Amino acid sequence: MSAKVTIDNIKDFSVGRERQVPTLQGEMRRYINFDNAASTPTLQPVLDTINQFMPWYSSIHRGTGFKSQLSTHLYEQSRDIVRQFCNVHDDLHTIIFGKNSTEAINKLARRIPLKEDSVILTTRMEHHSNDLPWRQVAKVIHIDVDETGRFSIADLKAKLEEYGDRVRLVTVTGASNVSGYVNPVHEIARIVHEHGAEIMVDAAQLAPHRKIDMRNQNDPQHIDYLAFSAHKIYAPFGLGVLVANREPFEEGAPEMVGGGQVEIVSMDHVFWTDVPEKEEAGTPNVVGAIALAKALQVVMDIGMDQIAEHEARLTSYALKRMKEVPGLVIYGSADEKDVENRLGVISFNIQGMYHALLAAILNYEYAIGVRNGCFCAHPYLKVLLGINKDENQKMEEQILHHDRSAIPGAVRMSFGMYNQEEEIDVFVEALKQIAAGKVQGKYILNKESGEYRPAGFELHFDQYFRL
Ligand SMILES: Cc1ncc(COP(=O)(O)O)c(C=O)c1O
């Protein structure tokens, strides 16, 4: 396809959008993907680029052949495109490629110099990937969210005052994978820098939906570190990015060591090569880097503002229409007019129905892909669901006893730039039917996994895809 990709025609470039999947009723239905916060499908231009590249593919960095040199050139060019996407144009930042956001954040946690009494401030609204890595290396303090689930600037200030110069880093999500709230990262950055600390933004959710502007390091609102994943921005080929102030990486040894990172190795000493190669242990993922670079070019060509506007319209429409469903509860803001500072990520339940059952019915009877559970953000979900200490303890006991038949959670729908209003219409009509008790299947719970499956219905995956 050679037409220019725009926000109006992007749906036609979303790979697999027309794919039909089996339903309980025995008919095939077009799959509606409302699980973009987990992973996005790829785009035709990304797939075309990969296919065009594969005949040129070869190992990178030390190969002397033409293909190796070309592959190395493209890999390095991918870093430049990431720089452009994040608006970093100084030599003080480096672009480190890895596997995903989780790996990027773990790397920073292992490499940032910390003292015995250093404190890392994270928040109550983080994905576990921006919480657990820090607990391994320092004292972690969680900045609170307010009663609506939004980041509390007041608590950030209070905690910065309380812990003073022990605070080495404040690490905060750019946008929540549960409520969709977008955090004011530049305002947070200014406050953090005033206190002499640095800021890390987990942009796994933010990057596919908003313009990223890390700014120059002499700007008090700049971002020092930023992580995101290619599979959430239309390039699911196994790449993650850490854009980082290079200083901490210039000293010391990488947390993972092996090939591709050294100048000299003798029997008793090692001289590391320069950043960023030093930080990329083993053979790098050149295909993933090229896929990401192409995806970033596509979203920049479409325009991040156009993407944000389209998704805000979808979110507003969805919130408005979901109010038609009796007993539907939304966690976080349900205000359809307040969509500027949030993403199209909506977590909800239908009162009286277990979230896992609702998600299963949407899949088996309507071919709508959503997600349910706690979305790797247990501390935040507990706040949004209002789970008290006793309920929490009961839940932990149940899980430890392999019983997930009544674990608190929600259903999450999340938009990508290719989703359309008519898909929301199908979704809302499905919810109305389900809320009215019009369900075709008899669903059986697997207590241990917490999943529901319709009785007597088998999926034969071999009919659809075989290796
Ligand atoms: C906010 C946030 N941070 C981090 C991650 C982890 O991303 P990955 O699984 O690509 O490492 C996710 C994934 O859902 C996320 O939503």
Question: Do 179 and 312 belong together in one domain?
Answer: no
127 lines ligand 1 (CB under 6 A): yes
126 lines ligand 1 (CB under 6 A): no
Q: Of 297, 293, 306, which is closest to residue 209 (Cα–Cα)?
A: 306
Bigger pLDDT: 1 vs 234: 234
User: Cα-Cα-Cα-Cα dihedral of 296, 301, 302, 303, to 10°?
Assistant: 90
202 lines ligand 1 (CB under 6 A): yes
Choose the final residue of a domain: 301, 324, 344: 301
Interatomic CA distance for residues 231 and 240, integer angstroms: 8
Question: Do 294 and 313 belong together in one domain?
Answer: no
pLDDT in tens, 373-395: 989 999 999 999 999 989 889 88
Q: Of 418, 371, 408, 90, which is closest to residue 233 (Cα–Cα)?
A: 418
100 lines ligand 1 (CB under 6 A): yes
Residue 69 near residue 62, CB atoms below 8 Å: no
130 lines ligand 1 (CB under 6 A): yes
User: Cα-Cα-Cα-Cα dihedral of 456, 461, 463, 467, to 10°?
Assistant: -160
Question: Do 215 and 336 belong together in one domain?
Answer: no
Q: Of 52, 53, 40, 38, which is closest to residue 13 (Cα–Cα)?
A: 40
**Ligand 1 atom with the shortest distance to the CA of 126:** 1
Q: What is the pLDDT of residue 61?
A: 82
**Ligand 1 atom with the shortest distance to the CA of 176:** 1
Interatomic CA distance for residues 189 and 220, integer angstroms: 7
pLDDT surpasses 60 at 1: no
Residue 149 near residue 125, CB atoms below 8 Å: yes
Average pLDDT over residues 239-265: 95
Strand 119-123 and strand 32-33: the pairing is: unpaired
Mean predicted lDDT score pLDDT of the chain: 96
Q: What is the pLDDT of residue 2?
A: 59
pTM of the full structure = 0.97
Question: Do 31 and 121 belong together in one domain?
Answer: no
Nearest CA to ligand 1 atom 7: 101
Residue 233 near residue 209, CB atoms below 8 Å: no
Question: Do 297 and 307 belong together in one domain?
Answer: no
Residue 56 near residue 248, CB atoms below 8 Å: no
Q: Does the residue 276 lie in any domain?
A: yes
Report the CATH number that the domain containing residue 455 is assigned in CATH: 3.90.1150.10
Q: Which of 123, 205, 343, when mutated, tests ligand 1's pocket best, judged by the most ligand atoms within 8 Å of its CB? A: 205
CA dihedral sign of residues 246, 250, 254, 259: positive
**Ligand 1 atom with the shortest distance to the CA of 232:** 10
Question: Do 273 and 324 belong together in one domain?
Answer: no
Question: Do 37 and 89 belong together in one domain?
Answer: no
Nearest CA to ligand 1 atom 12: 204
129 lines ligand 1 (CB under 6 A): yes
Choose the final residue of a domain: 268, 301, 334: 301
Residue 105 Cα to ligand 1 middle (Å): 10
**Ligand 1 atom with the shortest distance to the CA of 103:** 11
40 lines ligand 1 (CB under 6 A): no
374 lines ligand 1 (CB under 6 A): no
Residue 262 near residue 270, CB atoms below 8 Å: yes
Interatomic CA distance for residues 269 and 264, integer angstroms: 8
pLDDT in tens, 207-249: 999 999 999 999 999 999 999 999 999 999 999 999 999 999 9
Question: Do 261 and 392 belong together in one domain?
Answer: no
pLDDT band, residue 200 (cuts 50/70/90) = very high
Question: Do 339 and 419 belong together in one domain?
Answer: yes
Interatomic CA distance for residues 232 and 109, integer angstroms: 22
Interatomic CA distance for residues 130 and 106, integer angstroms: 8
Residues marked as catalytic = 376
Instruction: Count how many domains the chain has.
Output: 2
Question: Do 91 and 142 belong together in one domain?
Answer: yes
Q: Does the residue 2 lie in any domain?
A: no
Report the CATH number that the domain containing residue 235 is assigned in CATH: 3.40.640.10
Q: Does the residue 263 lie in any domain?
A: yes
Helix 286-302 / helix 44-53 crossing angle, nearest 10 deg: 140
pLDDT surpasses 60 at 367: yes
Q: Of 23, 3, 6, 11, which is closest to residue 422 (Cα–Cα)?
A: 11
| 3-state SS assignment for residue 145 | strand
Q: Does the residue 196 lie in any domain?
A: yes
Interatomic CA distance for residues 87 and 141, integer angstroms: 30
Residue 371 Cα to ligand 1 middle (Å): 14
Q: Which of 171, 229, 242, when mutated, tests ligand 1's pocket best, judged by the most ligand atoms within 8 Å of its CB? A: 229
Containing 135, the helix (H) or strand (E) segment is: helix 132-135
Containing 441, the helix (H) or strand (E) segment is: none
Question: Do 344 and 452 belong together in one domain?
Answer: yes
Residue 168 near residue 196, CB atoms below 8 Å: no
229 lines ligand 1 (CB under 6 A): yes
Q: Does the residue 5 lie in any domain?
A: no
pLDDT in tens, 94-145: 999 999 999 999 999 999 999 999 999 999 999 999 999 999 999 999 999 9
Q: Which of 177, 292, 374, when mutated, tests ligand 1's pocket best, judged by the most ligand atoms within 8 Å of its CB? A: 177
pLDDT in tens, 9-67: 999 999 999 999 999 999 999 999 999 999 999 999 999 999 999 999 999 987 789 99
Range list of H helices, 244-354:
247-250, 286-302, 304-322
Residue 76 near residue 61, CB atoms below 8 Å: no
Choose the final residue of a domain: 281, 301, 321: 301
Residue 271 near residue 262, CB atoms below 8 Å: yes
Question: Do 297 and 342 belong together in one domain?
Answer: no
Residue 332 near residue 349, CB atoms below 8 Å: no
Query: 444: domain range?
Result: 10-41+303-463
Q: What is the pLDDT of residue 405?
A: 87
pLDDT in tens, 159-176: 999 999 999 999 999 999
Concatenating the DSSP letter of every residue in 208-273 gives: TTS------TTSTT--SEEEEEGGGTT--SS-EEEEEESHHHHSS--SS-STTSEEEE-SS-EEE-
Residue 79 Cα to ligand 1 middle (Å): 21
